[in-house]
Structure formats: C-alpha cells, structure tokens
Structure 1
Amino acid sequence: MTGAQLKEELIAYSKSIGIDKIGFAAADVFQQLKQRLIDQQELGYQSGFEEPDIDKRTNPELLLSGASSIISIALAYPSKMKDAPKSVKGERRGIFCRASWGRDYHHVLREKLQLLEAFILEKCPDAAVKSMVDTGELSDRAVAERAGIGWTGKNCAIITPEFGSYVYLGELITDLAIPPDTPMEEQCGSCNICVDACPTGALVQGGQLDSNKCVAYLTQSKDFIPDQYRTKIGNRLYGCDTCQTVCPENKKKDFHLHPDMEPDPEIAKPLLRPLLNMSNRDFKEKFGHVSGSWRGKKPIQRNAILALAHFKDETAVEDLLHVMKVDPRPVMRGTAAWALGKIGGEMIENHLIMAKEQEKDENVLSEIEKGLQMLKNEQIS
C-alpha cells in the first residue's frame, strides 16, 4: 500500500469513528517553534506544566525512532450549554471552561487515537506508532498548524474554518511516509480583539502568551493567587474562555457532535457554597470524570471562595468563617479571610480580629490584614 492510499483510507476511517478533522504533516523538526519556546523560557512566560525539554517538544525523532509523518486529529466540542442554571442571589454558581465540559477529553481523544493506531497496524503490521494528547511532549497546536487543521490565532489557539477554536487536538507519530497536507494561512489579519479582551493582559502580543498571567493557568495553580489578579477571576472555577468567546471566528460556532462532551449543567456550572466543605471522595465522585479535576479539589475550592467574594455573597459568610477558622490549609484560610473583607459587613471585623489573634501562619496573617484593610477602606468611603 502506498502512502497516498493509506492516507485516503485513514481519512475515510477517521470519519467513521467520529473524528471531525484529520490532517497530515512531515515529522521534521519544528524549528520556528523551538525558537519561540526558547524566547518564552528566557522571558519567564512558561507555566511549569509543559515538558521542560525543548528538544523533545520540537523533534519527533526523539520520541519515535525513524519518525516520518505526524497525523493530527481534531474533535469539536460545544460552546453553548443547554438548560444552563442561573446564578442568582443566595445560590451563586461558578463555571468550568468549555474545554472541561463533559468527559475528560484526554480519554476521548486517546480512544480515537488508539483506534487509528490499530487501523494502521492492521494495514501495515511493521509500522511504528506513538500517539499523545495534550500532556505529551509535542505541541498539539504546532502539529495541527503544520497538518493544515487550522491556523494559530492571536489567542494562541488553533482556529479551524469549520469549528472555530472549539476543538480538542491530538496527534500520532509514525515511521510511515504519508503525503503531508498544506498548512493554512494565518487569517486573523489586523483583528486584535482577543488581545484587548484578555482579563489580565496575558496575551502579550498576537500569538504570544505569558502563562503566569493567564487566568486559565491561575485557576489551576495551588498557591495564593496574586492580589492583582483576584478580581479578574470572576466566577471561574477552572480555565478561561474570554479569548475564545470574543473571537469573530467563533461566532455562531456550537457543535454537539459527541455525547461524551455534553456538559452536565450541575457539574459545569455548580453551586459555589457546597464546594467549600466537599470531601475528597465527594469531589472525585462528582468532578473526577472532567478534565478540570486534574489538579484536585484545592484550586477549585480556592476559586469558589474568590467567586463568592466576586459576587459579595453575604449568604456565604458563615461558610467562609468556617473555612477561615478550621480549614487545615493556609491557602484556604487566607483566601477566605480576604474574601470576608471583600464581602464586608458589620460582624466581619470582629471575626477577622479574633482570627488574627489565633492564627500562626504568616501568609494567612497577611491575608487577614488585607481583609481588615478592605473593611477600613469601606468605612472611610
């Protein structure tokens, strides 16, 4: 079988197993990406979640001996939630980003890639294959761009003509020679909407991201969120969609092609207060199947506290007092103290003063002081 014949059969097979888009690229070194990653590293823009070895991220040969081709796949996910519950006074809700709606996409894409692997090995038993999704060494976006899936937008996402940027990406490296597709021309032009709309200015310029400022990264961190970004989090529990929702290429793009990706509204947009005292077991049972759970419950709970402060939800004061007084984790106690100061109210000051007398952790004491200062500023104004 020739590479061209295999390509045609793979395209047909991919459609039969629910892959929305497939593209093919040569497994050459990603030279432009390599330089960009070096620049990112020198500027301190990396999040720390990436593969640290830049050579592995840019040279497929280091991942699969004899690498010749890379197959890129894309699956479209929904951008709108059916029957989304309202966030109302007394029942405030947080939100998971669209990429964390439905079943964890890592599992969904891996299953598709495993089917592709099996198909290739059935046709070419001696072939070598290696697939990866997101957490692999290669850059999914760089592969997708080279394979003609879409272009890299100024929001640092792959934008496809068919589905916008609402796509999950994965890839498969093989030693088989398969004719490559033509990369797509960048089509953002002079549009700068996503860069201007970024809540924290993380999109330094079109196509360059300072991960340490990105709300999506901040919501996944486990430490205290820097003061200057706390009010930018809003009610986001995991991830951020702003640079996608404002993109003109995403207008009217909403695809419901995969039942696994349909969100459960009570999980994708959960009530905030019940999150604060959720046990590890309860968290895993409710959220364990979504990608937003990968860092555990701590970041989600901290973000829920910030969301309650964002809403100035007075009905949550008792819950926040409980967290501030008894939670064993300093980040939770401190964030709750800050949130109480943000919400305000006559009784809060006394509780913060009492907590200050009992608290031993320096970071938490600093947050209590911030809470007291906010109350003082509120009284002056």
Structure 2
Amino acid sequence: LPARRLDGLEYNPWVEFVELAKEYETVNLGQGFPNFPPPDFAVEAFQQAVSGDFMLNQYTMAFGYPPLTKILASFFGKLLGQELDPLENVLVTVGAYGALFTAFQALVDEGDEVIIIEPFFDCYEPMTLMAGGRPVFVSLKPVFSKAELELVARLCQQHDVLCIADEVYQWLVYDGLQHISIASLPGMWARTLTIGSAGKTFSATGWKVGWVLGPDHIMRHLRTVHQNSIFHCPTQGQVAVTKSFEREQLHMGQPSSYFVQLPKAMQRNRDHMTHSLQSVGLKPVLSQGSYFLIADISDFKSKMPDLPGAAEEPYDRRFVKWMIKNKGLVAIPVSIFYSVPHQKDFDHYIRFCFVKDEATLQAMDKKLQKWKAELGP
C-alpha cells in the first residue's frame, strides 16, 4: 500500500493533455519548454565539462560545485543587495522542482498553513500536502504590481511568515519592465528563499540544475533534507552552468548578454502569437514575462457552451480538448493552476507557450489560418 501522504495525489493533469496531443496532428503550444537550442556558449561549456577533466565524472561538494556556488553568490548578491556566502546562503538542487521540494520538506510541519497564490505551478499543492501542510489559496486578478508585492512583504513581516519565491523566469521580462525579487525589499532577506533555474535561464530545461538562495538560519534546514535525500547533484551540468554565468557576468547589461537577447527575441514571439490568436477570436492577455500568454475564451464559452465532457468539468478543459481534436492546437487550461473551489471562476482562460522556434510559430499560423477560414466572413 502507498504511504498516506500520497492519498489523492495520483492524478496529474499534464499526462491527460500530453497523451491527447499525441493522438492528433497538433502544434504543441502547451508545455513550457524551448524547442530551440541553448546558446552556443552554454552548449560548449557542457561539452567541455563532459570531455575535459575526467574528475568531473565524480562527486563534487554535496551542496553545490564550489565554483557554481561562488558565482551564484556573487551574481545574485549584487541583485539582492546582500553579501552572500557560497557555503551558507546557496544550495544547488535538481532543478527548481528539487529546490521547491526540499524547501517544503524542510520548513512545512504537520498542520502548517501554506498560502498559495493562484494561479500556481501545479506541484505547490501536492508538495504542501506531502509535507503535512494545509494549502490556503489566494486568487490573483489579472494584475500584479510592485505595490502588491510590497503589501505581501509587509504581511509576511507583520505575521512572521516565511516566503518561498519561485523566480525561475526572472530574466524573461518584457516591454522594458524589470523583475523585482521580493527578497530585495526591506526586511525580507531574513525570511525569504529565492529559487532559480538554469533550465529557464539558459534555455536548457533538461539539465535540471536549480538553486535556492537565503539566510543561513533557514538554509541549514534545507541542507539537512538535501544531505538525507539526493545528497548531491550531477557535477557536469553544474560546471556548464558555472561557465555560463561567468560569461554572463562579463557581458551583463550589454547587447551581447544572453539575458538581454533572449527576452527581446521572446517578446517578438509573444507579439507574433498575440496577433495570430486574435485572428480567430481568442483574446490574449498581454504577458509581461515568462514563457506564456493567457487567452480569454469567454466569447467561445458564450457561443459554444455545450462542448463534450463531464458536466462538472471546467469549460477551459473541455475547450482545450475540443481545440486539440478539431483545430490541431494544444494549449493548457488555466483552471488546472487553481484550487478546486476556484476553478469554475477561472475556467475561461487557456495558456499558450510562445518560447518556440520560427517553424513552430509558422505551423501555428497555418492552423489558425485554416480555423479562420472555417469561421467564414
């Protein structure tokens, strides 16, 4: 029999939509990963790590390859306004996913309330439950400002709350806006864990190199979980990420910086996709960051309310299945990123990933042009 901590966690919404996408001739704009290569300097760094020093095939330090923890401390210390110690304030994990799991296991006790802002990455709720915590959901409206972030920071301090900040998309910010780390706000460093991902940073999601930054009095508990679970992350991926950050530190803020080039290119993709989706009556909400944009499907909900599916199934899930089968386009229903009681309130949005190559965007355009022709004049 499975452990009780797994009760009710068997279902994974991704499996259903990924399997359905395989059955039809589709353009997959659902899952969030680039289908173009990482930058040349990152690939070369990985190749060198694999073919160079043979000792890089062996264990490194348990809490992170020392040159990597050093560059992460230096790089993010400047951004967060803190003097970071590579040994005390940095932990390297198996992707941001591993960082999240380690944090929940280290800090969430039986019965603890964990406030989860919706829409949320779908692992937050099961990770809370597996740690014995009690999820409490707060829904965002389609706006999120610095003033709101400052309000969250004040509430954390007022109520002595720890903050876990999943900031994997911090470099993918558009329209001249800037990412603000909550740990950089006054009074927040001492109570915040900041999570990052080389996968999102260098467009190499399969490398599974992530990290957590935070004060030693919190980080020591994560190190306890880490040393009693995975103990150590693959060395060569860490070496490649080290070299990539060292390169970026030299080019920071310049046109040659990948952190400058990638968001510019992805903003063009976002704008392309926005224009294309509008042609069939989908209403994109302009995304200020990340890999994704949300489209409002309220008009379809009014015109086609009775799509196939179970009566209690949120409309956006039925719509995505209909779109996969009939239009050959894969998106993800936004309701899967909400708690069950709130899903019906947010069942008129679907999510598309625009971090794709030119060929994928052109294939999307063809599907949408066909759809537009079917709508008639």
> Higher relative CO (CA 8 A, sep ≥ 6), structure 1 or 2?
2
Fold match by TM threshold 0.5: no
TM-score bracket for this pair, using the shorter chain length = under 0.3
Given the two structures, how large is their TM-score scaled by the length of structure 1? 0.26
Q: Which one has the largest radius of gyration?
A: 1
